[in-house]
Structure formats: C-alpha cells, structure tokens
Chain A
Amino acid sequence: MAGLNENRISVDDWLLTETVRHQEERAGRCRDDEPALALARAGRRELSSRLVIRARALPGARAIATDVRRIRLWMRRGSGLLTLLGLLAGWLAARASTSDRHVDLLLASVALLGLPTLMLLLWLGLVIWSLRRPQSPSLAGHLLVSGLSRLAPRLLTGPQAADTARAGLDLLRGRFGRWYLSILSHLFWLAYATGAIVTLLVLFSIAQYDLSWGTTLLSDQTVSRMIHYLAAAPAQLGLIPPADAAWIATGREGGLVGSQRAEWARLLLAMVVLYGAGPRLVAGLLSATLAWRAARGLSLDRRQPGYLRLVPLLQPDLSPSHTLGQAPGARADLPLRQARNRQGVVVLVGIELERSERDWPPILGDIDAVALGRADRRDQRRALIEALSNQHDKPGVLIVLCSLLRTPDAGIEQFVNQLAEAAGSALILVLDEGDELQRRGGNLASRQADWEGLARRVGAHCLALDLASLNPALSESRPQGADRLARLIDQARAPA
C-alpha cells in the first residue's frame, strides 16, 4: 500500500489507528475485519504498519480520516488565530509604551520585553523539568489541552468523533504534542514581537519621539553599564554607533537632536528584535525540528489492550499448521459372526477392566458362562488365543467384556478379531463400567458409540450393561439387563 514503504507512521495514520483502538476498546472489536486483516498480514512489515493498514481498510475509516483532516484544519486555524492575537498584543504593548511623545527607554524595554522574556524563561524551565515527563510542558499547553477537550467533540462530526478527539489529545500530550505546543507558544510571542516592532517602526517613522533613560534609586553608572551591555549586540551589528559612555550620557540628558533620536529609536527597535523576536525565532525553529523528529518517530504502543489483542491475528503464520502424509482409510465393517457350534457353551473373556481380580469372574445373572480369563497382558492374550484355537468343542458364543473407561483402539480390535477367529463362535461385546465413566465426567454416549463402531468392525453384537445389576446377591428381582443379555445370546446362536 502506498505510503508504507517504510515502517514510519504519519501523524494522520497515527490518529486514525489510535481512534480505531479507542473505539474498539470501548465498543468491541470490529468483527467484520477479515479483509482488513488479510491486507495487513501480507508482506514483511512491522506490527505498527500492519495495525495502520488494518485501520485504514476497516469500514468507517473514511469518516475518521475526514475528522482527522478536520483536526488539521482547526489546528491551522488555531495557529492563524494565535498569530493574529500575538500581533494584536504586540501592537497593544507598543502603543502602551509610546502613549506620549516622550519614551523612557528602560520602561519601554521592560514593557515590551519583560513578560515575553519571563515566559521564555518559564518555558525553558518547564522544558527542562518535563524532559522525562510525557505531559505537555507548560501551563498554556495544559490549558490548551483542556480547552480542546471541551471543544473537540463540537468541532468533529464523524461517528467516532469522541475517539478521534481522544486520540488527538493523546497526540498533544505526547512528545510530538509537547514540541507542537511549543511552536504555538513561540509563534504567539514571535507575532507579539513582530507586532511591537512594526508598530514602533511605523510610529517612529511618522512622529517625533524623545527617548531618554533615567533612574530614581540606582546610580547613573549602574544604569549606564546596563545600557552598555544591552547595546553591545546592536552596536556589534552596526545598527547603532558604539555605545560608549559619552553616547550613553546623551540619552540621560534628554533633548536629543535629529540623528541621535534615530540612533536611540534604533536601539529600542534592535533590542526588541534581538531580545524579543530573536530567541523566539531560534526556539521556534528548534521546536519545529524536534516536532518534526517526534512526528517521524511516532509509534503505536503495542502493549495497549486494543493492539495486543490483534497481535496473533496480524502476525503472519510462521509456518501455518499443516498435516504430513495421507490420512489412513476407514476400516470396513464385518458381517455378524456365526457360531460353528450353535449348541456350544458361552465363554467369557475380560479386556482391560478396572474391576479388581477379586471381582472376576462377574456374575451374569443366571446365564451360565465359562470364564476363560482376562486379557490385559500380551502373555494372557496369547494364552487365550491358543486355548481357544486348540479347543475341540468350539464355544457357541464368545462374550468379550470391555470397559467403557477405555478408549477402543486398533490393538483391542485386532485382538478381539483374533480371539473370535480362534473361537469360531458368535461374538458379543458387553460394555461395562459406564457408570464409573460418568462419575469421572466422561461422555458416555460418545464412548459407547466408539465401542459400537468397533463391534461392527469385528462382526459382534454389542450391549452396554451395568454388570453389578446382574448379580442376584445385589438385586432382588431378575434384572432387566440379564434378560437383554440372554436374548442377545439366543439371537447370536440363531442362524443368520
């Protein structure tokens, strides 16, 4: 996108992105931002640039940009107004110092340069004091910011005006704002000095003023020395003749003649230029340079919640998650196994049950089943397969007692298949320990479905039972479960 070749953020973009942040922190993230996120993720950029691109591409960015332009417009207007005010204040001060035709040089200097110099020193002091503080440096700056906080919502019209105003005020409170407000301050006082100089120039050109100096408390020598120092710089620049004692003495006596009046008027003008306008011009240029540097160094604080939440969405995937190899094919179901010897006995095998050895074999109501053993270890499994393979009278039905606490796996599936092959009988999977699974917070329905899937793949009937309910010692009447199991055994024995 144009304008983001480097990772630098313009003031306008900063305001736009901060406005979006404030808005999203207050009212929730814009969820319709996938295209904006995709744009922002593309290419190699820093996070700040990605945040800016996202903000620019969001719906509603145009209205914010209009408000940002409006802020700029009002900033320009404000600067213009301040310049006018400065010129007016300078004119007022110059007029007040020259209210009659006799101008006291020292009094006029204090009137024209006293307050600006005081304010300059105050500004300098505050700048030094606030170098490590993020707030704006001056009382004027503070007042300006509070004034703007009241004005801003009235000047901006977009739907996000309050957030834009907040972003604008944040900008003014930051480093850029400090130097920008300094520029405004220097602009005002420069305009003040300019207003005063122009007024004095005009008045001294068109009317005759008598300039003199005097003192009531101080000695003449002290004041003379003071004027000597004040006049040194203008004399160096050739604006006035060298300010020696004789020349200074002419001003003490009053009654200056033609060229002497002009020389003393030039001294007053030169003092306002050099001690009023000069330092302000230098400070203004310095502030402008620092404001420009601060604008170039504008950054977005990624630790803000509104930005930090976007980091995972804006970072391009290091290497997106991807799968390796082909997915295995689904295993096929088998038809229900048929008993070769329908009249054969019912045999029982247990796999990975949590019931203790003491509870083995379980009582299956009045069903007469031969418990062959448990198959928790490899040697047990081998022994069971071997025993069933070698048995001459094949069993009619093989009941495999499984635990719903276990997740069915390929190992169990393969073993049950081998066992059923060796038995040559019909096969029933009885699923026990479902109540314990539920007690542990497991999902009984999905676990049962998984075991039923395994039963289909090994050609078995499947029945979930609470085996404790089949024990007549624990149950008063013939339990329903025993009936269901007996019916299932009959069904398994019957020809398909």
Chain B
Amino acid sequence: MSESILRIAVVGHTNTGKTSLVRTLTHNRAFGQVEDRGGTTRQVTVTALGIGEKTLIELYDSPGLENAPALLDWLETQAGERHDGPDRVARLLDDPQARIRFDHEARVLELMLAVDIGLYVIDAREPVLEKYQDELAILALCARPLIAVLNFTAHPASRETEWRDALARVGLHTTLSFDAVVRDPATERRLFEKLGSLLDRFGDTLGKWLAAREREEAERRGAALEAIAELLLDAAACRREYRRDNKSQREREIASLRTAVSRREQACVETLLDLYRFGREDYAEHELPLVDGRWPVNPLDPEALRHYGIHAGSHAGAGAGIGAIFDISTGGLSLGAGTLIGTLAGAGAGLFRGAGDQLVERLSGTARLAVDDAALRLLAWRQIRLLQQLTRRGHAANQPLAAATEDRWRTERLPSVLNRARLHPEWSSLNPGLVAGSDRAAALQRLCHFLEPESTSE
C-alpha cells in the first residue's frame, strides 16, 4: 500500500474547541490561539505530524462555521443538480458575492474538498440546535467522511447522550468523546483507529503513526520516572554537616539543605514539564515544607547493616589488590599470602569504618542534617502526582496544575533503596565534591521499577 500524507480538517461551529483539539493531538501548546470566545481562529492553519523528518499527517485547523442556516437557505435557492454535493459547493465557491457573505463557511468547505477526512468538533455542553444540524448537512455536501468529536464530555453540563442520538439521526455514527483539555492516550488511539477504519488506503500511515506515538509515550514515561528517581536519590542522599556547638552554622546548613533540595525539585519539575511539552506557567508550586530534623542512622537497620557489609567487602577487595602488589614484589614466592592478609586487613578496616562512622562523628563534635522521611515522602508524592496529571493534561488546558501539599503516597514506608541512599552521600549530586560509583545506577533502576506502579495508580 502506498504511503501518502493523510490530510485531516478540523471543523465545527465557532468556539467548540477545534484549536484545542489540534493542540492536544500535536502536543503543541504553542499552536494557534485558544480562548473561550468565538472567532479566535480566523484563517485555516496547517500543522504536520510525522516521524523524524517525515510528514505522515497534516492537520488543518479552520475558522468556526457561523452562518450555516443562511447558507443552506442560499443553496436551496440555487439552480442545478440538487444531489451532487461537491458541485453545489463549487457553485458557492465560484460566486464572489456568496464567498463574501459566507466567508468562514466558504473557507471551510473549500478546505473540506481538499482533505481526506473531516473531524467535526462539537461542544457537548451545547443543546442540539438546528444550526449545528445545518452545519452537518452542509459538510455532507463535500462528500468526505466525517467523524464527530464530542468535546467537553467530562463537563457536568455535557449532553453527550443527546448529541449521540441526534448524530445517529442524521446518519453520522462515527463519533468519539475526546475532551481536548483532558488528554487520554487511549482515546487518542481510538480516534486514529477510527480514521483508519474509514480510510483503508491510509492504514499503513496510521499504523506507523500510532506505533511511533506509543513508543514516544513509553519513552517519555520512562524518562519521567528516571527524572523523579534521580531527584529522590539526590534528596535522600543529600547531607549537610555542622558543629554541634555552633547554632548559627546549623541554621546556615539547614537553609543550604532546603535551598539545594528545592532547586533540585524545581529542576525535576521543569524536566517533567518539558518532557510533556508544557511550560513553567502550567505548574503552580508550593514551597516544600522541609522539616529540619536530623536523620538518625539506626545501626540495626537492615539497610545499614547490609551497607556496611558491602563496604567491608569493597575494602576487602582493595586490601586484596594491595596484597597482590606485595606478592609481585616477592616474585610470587609468597604464593598469595600477601593477597590473603590484605583481604582480611581490608575487610577489618571496612567494618571498623562502618561501625566507627557515627562514633567519629560524635567524637569530632559534628552532626549531620538530611531531608527527613516526611519531606521525602511528600517530595516523591508531588512528583508522582505531577506526572499523573501531566499524562492526562491536554495541551489546550489553561489552568495551572497545583503542587500536591499533602502526602497521599500509597506506600507506607520509604522504598528500601531510598533508605540505602541515605548511607551513600556520594549518590547525591547536591553534595559537592563527591561522585557516585556504579552502584547508584543500579539503585536508580530499582527506584524506577518501584515508582512505575505508583505513578499509574491515582
């Protein structure tokens, strides 16, 4: 089957959300002008959907139909073949006076003749007025398939059933509820599937487009989860230290911790907004209430024990390396004794370091500050909530999303990987002078895995 560009016209009465629909389908909030008033779109505007640099679909946004009843009256007065719709439309387009009188309608009908299919957008809050039925009658003259898209169906004043019934009465059975400000990938998919069912020859094009969209959606979701996991690791492992006897230093370090985590959160929010192609104005943030508690390391915490066990292991490795050098220097005649002694010495050093960490801290008179569990949970929930909202936000929505102010995370305890992060200051990019090893990447993967189901349940 040959691959050609599918041309879709988005038509309908004025102020029904045509431009909003195009914005949501293109994920482009900069497209056109969206306002709750008529006549915002005054010319036909075209935009492309494609993969890479290849255009697959062209979407034509059109000015609203405003005077269908009068146009129908005019058409009824014209001579000629009554049942040849395109011919009747051509007569209208050829008449300069009629073109002036029915300016918007002429533009829309000309567009309909040039495209493969039309999406007739309906504001489902509107009653089924005769003028809307007149619009459908006029559009039918263009002999192009039409899909009725019911917008604002999530609104309490929606008259979806009434509309579906009325559309069926005029023979328009291909209808779809598609709320332009509430994006739903499943509905978007259904729309393209309906297009495919009406236009066989574009089956390949639509299949490719749907596959690309799904891939894009999965990639975006994966990247968003990774961005959140990065933030949580950075926040959990973030530390500041102060001398116990220095109160002003404590205040300074608390402020430093708060600023660092808040900026880091902001960076994450920006990443999520960018990923879903929204702007800063789409999110109204609240300052993160960062409790200034000191996070105590519980020496019996399983994560802490495991951590120190691993540390002892890595020190043993280092000891083994040093021992091997000794073995070389003896020409191998020590037969690995150096390696063995090095291993044991290294393990001992590691264990001492683990157990001694807090002791050293206590003896040296320093104390440690970290983000406490409650703040960490709220931080996590805020990002998860934002992600949930962004995945369902249409690109025509004007109301900014509000940051969650209360923790409603389903999980009762912090994931163990975050508790582990607390023992790894080098995992946080907010701690200057430290760079994480490869264990952070593994922790990141685990955290992403943990967040995946959290982010899908409302």
Contacts and interface: CB of A to CB of B under 8 A. Distances in A.
B436 A166 contact: yes
A153 interface: yes
Interface stretch (B44-52, B171-179, B300-308): B44-52
A302 B267 CA distance: 19
Interface stretch (A89-97, A278-286, A335-343): A89-97
Interface string A187-202: 0000010000000000
Contact of B53 (A27, A145, A318): A318
Contact of A324 (B31, B43, B49, B266): B43
Contacts of B116: none
B66 to A, nearest CB: 4
Contacts of A303: 219, 222-223
Interface string B424-442: 0010011011111110010
Given A327-B43, A414-B70, A447 B37 contact: yes
B435 A169 contact: yes
A145 B438 contact: yes
Contact of A92 (B63, B125, B129, B328): B328
B69 A411 contact: yes
Contacts of B13: 407, 409
Contacts of B189: none
A134 to B, nearest CB: 9
B134 to A, nearest CB: 7
B155 interface: yes
A299 to B, nearest CB: 15
Contacts of B224: 305
Contacts of A154: 433
Interface in B36-60: 36-38, 42-50, 52-55, 58
Contact of B332 (A26, A115, A312, A443): A115
A410 interface: yes
Interface in A355-376: 376
B239 interface: no
A220 interface: no
A450 B37 contact: yes
A428 B227 CA distance: 59
A318 B47 CA distance: 9
Given A28-B266, A114-B332, A318-B53, A408 B435 contact: no
Interface in A97-142: 97, 110-112, 114-115, 135, 139-140, 142
B70 A146 contact: no
A448 to B, nearest CB: 11
B437 A408 contact: no
Interface string A303-339: 1111011101001111101111111100000000000
A144 B125 CA distance: 66
A9 interface: no
Contact of B329 (A22, A96, A354): A96
B134 A308 contact: no
Contact of A143 (B36, B52, B318): B318
Contacts of B331: 92-97, 111-112
Interface of B is mostly: mixed
Nearest to B331: A96
B188 interface: no
Contacts of A378: 69, 72-73, 130, 134
Interface residues of A, number: 83
B14 interface: yes
A127 to B, nearest CB: 17
Contacts of A310: 274
A44 interface: yes
A321 B48 CA distance: 7
Nearest to A418: B70
Contacts of B433: 153-154, 162
B64 to A, nearest CB: 7
A62 to B, nearest CB: 22
A309 B131 CA distance: 44
A447 B429 CA distance: 51
Given A169-B435, A305-B275, A409-B67, A323 B44 contact: yes
B378 interface: no
B66 A409 contact: yes
Contacts of A443: 36-37
Interface in A1-55: 22, 24-29, 44
A185 to B, nearest CB: 12
A447 B328 contact: no
Contacts of B45: 321-324
A441 B50 CA distance: 36
Nearest to A151: B435
A493 interface: no
B55 A352 contact: no
B270 A28 contact: yes
Nearest to B431: A162
A149 interface: yes
Contacts of A146: 314, 437
A175 interface: no
Contact of A305 (B27, B58, B271, B314): B271
B84 interface: no
Contacts of B55: 318-319
A165 B435 contact: yes
Contact of A308 (B27, B42, B275, B437): B275
Contacts of B264: 26-27
Contacts of A186: none
Contacts of A111: 331-333
Interface string B20-45: 00000001100110011110001111
Nearest to B320: A139
A411 B223 CA distance: 49
B131 A411 contact: yes
Nearest to A139: B317
Contact of A326 (B28, B43, B220, B321): B43
A29 B435 contact: no
A162 B429 contact: yes
B329 A89 contact: yes
Nearest to B218: A303
A377 interface: yes
A73 B15 CA distance: 64
A173 interface: yes
Interface in B233-283: 234, 263-264, 266-267, 270-271, 274-275, 277
A376 to B, nearest CB: 6
A392 interface: no
Contact of B44 (A22, A44, A139, A325): A325
Nearest to B114: A324
Nearest to A378: B69
A394 interface: no
Contacts of B432: 153, 162
Interface string B122-137: 0001110111001000
A155 to B, nearest CB: 11
Given A153-B435, A411-B66, 16 more contacts: A92-B329, A96-B329, A112-B332, A165-B435, A309-B275, A315-B52, A321-B28, A323-B44, A325-B44, A378-B69, A378-B134, A407-B13, A407-B38, A410-B104, A411-B67, A447-B37
18 contacts: A25-B267, A27-B263, A89-B329, A96-B331, A96-B333, A110-B332, A149-B426, A150-B435, A153-B434, A192-B328, A304-B223, A322-B46, A323-B43, A323-B45, A410-B66, A415-B70, A440-B155, A446-B36
Interface of B: 13-15, 27-28, 31-32, 35-38, 42-50, 52-55, 58, 63-64, 66-70, 72-73, 103-104, 107, 125-127, 129-131, 134, 155-157, 219-220, 222-224, 226-227, 230, 234, 263-264, 266-267, 270-271, 274-275, 277, 314, 317-318, 320-321, 324-325, 327-333, 426, 429-430, 432-438, 441
